[in-house]
């Protein structure tokens, strides 16, 4: 069962939960879209073509201003911009507290088909975690213990599929085309992505779903830390949501 962490309890409590979790993930309760004070801005962004913005060295308020000016028009949704930027800054500070370091932030609204396949995020630093809050999605992320993945079958599957999935993700981002049309010639792979029945998963009953609308934090694999196996639900292909992606890494 997926443990629930709390922003009020602080990042150190969440870190202890993550370190002790076989799933390598925790859930963070968040208000539903209808209850958010910046819901009008989120809904407006979700009507635009899918995009991805890495904040890099931009502060959240500057990054939100950049994307809103470009997609929605200069000066649009000014009060909501500030509220969304403050929320992102709060989450980034929390994520940074997991590793006592600065977090990097990305914002995206496109559906990445490769995310529907079980995978582990990896970096070279010693400790790393990723906080994901996908606002407006119809289904939550799914996680499963590493013991539920057959390592030999998984390596063989990803050796064949990973380059193709990366190319598919790029085509979807650039064209906005449906994955069903792009991979009509690969019915077996599409069936696995849509059903979640992959040949390397040992027991479907060992999957857990993050509650729709909630945020989650999961471990990123490093040379000294195991990662969390996770995937997006196929149901999100029509509504990928406004995905706030915050990554915190540290060499210590």
Give 10-residue mean pLDDT values along the chain (252 residues). 94 97 96 97 95 94 97 97 98 97 94 96 96 95 97 97 96 92 96 96 96 96 96 93 97 86
pLDDT of residue 252: 81
Alpha-carbon distance of 114 to 166, in angstroms, equals 7
Is residue 190 in some structural domain?
no
Is residue 155 in some structural domain?
no
Is residue 196 in some structural domain?
no
Q: Quickly tell me which residue has 């060992």 as its tokens.
A: 206
Is residue 216 in some structural domain?
yes
What count of Cα atoms within 13 Å lies in the side-chain half-sphere of residue 38?
Answer: 21
Q: Which regions of the chain does DSSP assign to beta strands (E)?
A: 3-5, 25-28, 52-54, 103-108, 127-135, 142-144, 208-209, 215-219, 229-231, 242-250
SS3 164: helix
Question: Which tokens belong to 72?
Answer: 């929605």
Is residue 185 in some structural domain?
no
pLDDT of residue 1: 79
CA angle 252, 28, 119 (to 5 degrees): 65
pLDDT of residue 221: 97
Alpha-carbon distance of 13 to 220, in angstroms, equals 18
pLDDT of residue 101: 87
Residues spanned by the domain of 120: 3-148+207-250
Question: Which tokens belong to 35?
Answer: 């209850």
Is residue 40 in some structural domain?
yes
pLDDT of residue 57: 87
> Read out DSSP for 50-110?
P-EEE-TT--HHHHHHHHHHHHH-TTTTHHHHHHHHHHHHHHHHHHHHHHTSPEEEEEE--
pLDDT of residue 102: 86
Q: How would you list the strands of the sheet with 242-250, edge to edge?
A: 3-5, 25-28, 215-219, 127-135, 242-250, 103-108, 52-54
CA distances from 17 to 23, 87, 225 (A): 10, 23, 14
Alpha-carbon distance of 98 to 93, in angstroms, equals 9
Is residue 179 in some structural domain?
no
The structural domain count of the chain equals: 1
Is residue 170 in some structural domain?
no
Q: Could you tell me the CATH number of the domain that includes residue 13?
A: 2.60.120
CA distances from 67 to 44, 62, 105 (A): 12, 9, 14
Q: Give the distance, in angstroms, between the CA of residue 99 and the centroid of all CA atoms in the same chain.
A: 19
């Amino acid at each position: 069962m997926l443990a629930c962490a709390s922003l009020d309890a602080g990042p150190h409590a969440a870190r202890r939960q993550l370190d002790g979790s076989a799933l390598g993930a925790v859930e963070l309760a968040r208000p539903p879209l209808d209850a958010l004070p910046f819901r009008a801005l989120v809904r407006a962004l979700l009507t635009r073509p899918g995009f991805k913005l890495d904040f890099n060295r931009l502060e959240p308020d500057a990054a939100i201003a950049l994307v809103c000016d470009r997609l929605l028009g200069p000066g649009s949704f000014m009060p909501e911009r500030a509220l969304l930027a403050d929320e992102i800054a709060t989450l980034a500070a929390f994520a940074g507290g997991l590793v006592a370091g600065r977090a990097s932030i990305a914002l995206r609204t496109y559906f990445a088909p490769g995310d529907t396949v079980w995978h582990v995020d990896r970096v070279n630093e010693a400790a790393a975690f990723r906080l994901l809050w996908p606002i407006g999605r119809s289904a939550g992320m799914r996680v499963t213990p590493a013991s539920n993945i057959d390592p030999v079958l998984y390596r063989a599957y990803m050796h064949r599929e990973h380059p193709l999935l990366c190319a598919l993700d790029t085509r979807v981002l650039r064209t906005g085309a449906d994955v069903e049309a792009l991979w009509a010639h690969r019915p077996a792979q599409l069936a696995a992505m849509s059903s979640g029945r992959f040949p390397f998963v040992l027991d479907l009953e060992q999957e857990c779903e993050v509650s729709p609308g909630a945020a989650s934090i999961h471990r990123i694999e490093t040379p000294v830390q195991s990662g969390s196996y996770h995937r997006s639900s196929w149901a999100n292909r029509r509504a990928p949501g406004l995905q706030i992606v915050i990554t915190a890494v540290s060499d210590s």
